[in-house]
Structure 1
Amino acid sequence: MPMVTVSISPQQAAGIRAAVDNGGYASSSEVVREALRLWDTARKLNEFKADVLDEISPSGGRCVGDMFADHEAARRRSA
């Protein structure tokens, strides 16, 4: 497996150590691998959501309130 060096905060390091010490994981590498799998899943889900919103909403998934606020801001700038 390729090795990668990353910097994490002291709180993140403590969380990883606690997860291993509590027996939830055999090693810190397992914790990080699971975190990366979750991150990848969330990233793919967000891409999927964006694709679906683009298909069903011509506004790109924006709510009516956002579109109205943009319209009002443009109206004020042109006044």
Structure 2
Amino acid sequence: MPMVTVSISPLQAAGIRAAVDTGTYASSSEVVREALRMWDAARKRDDVCDVPHAANDGADTGASGRCVADMFADYEAERRSPN
């Protein structure tokens, strides 16, 4: 599998570590791969916001106005839900 190096914020790194530490994911790579799959699916639905554009001027952020990070947070909350 190809290897890619990226920079993430300390908060993102902590979130990834927490997901692995709690056993939700087996590795940090698994977390990132799932996030990328979700991003790709959202992109194909044209449901990805233009983060730099949105952050700069508050303009329209895509079809639903939601970022993939929001979608991922919702997904994680649903996974943890005791339903």
TM-score (norm 1): 0.58
Q: Distance in 2 between matches of 1:41 and 1:21?
A: 26
**Structure 1 stretches of at least 4 aligned residues deviating more than 6 Å after TM superposition:** none
Equivalent position of 1:41 in the other structure: 41
Higher helix share: 1
Q: Distance in 1 between matches of 2:35 and 2:8?
A: 13
Identity %: 83
The CA deviation at 1:29 is 0.2
Larger radius of gyration: 1
Structure 1 gaps of 5+ residues are: 48-79
Structure 2 gaps of 5+ residues are: 48-83
What is the count of residue pairs matched by the alignment?
47
RMSD across aligned positions (CA): 1.0
TM-score (norm 2): 0.55
Bigger relative CO (Cα 8 Å, ≥ 6 apart): 2
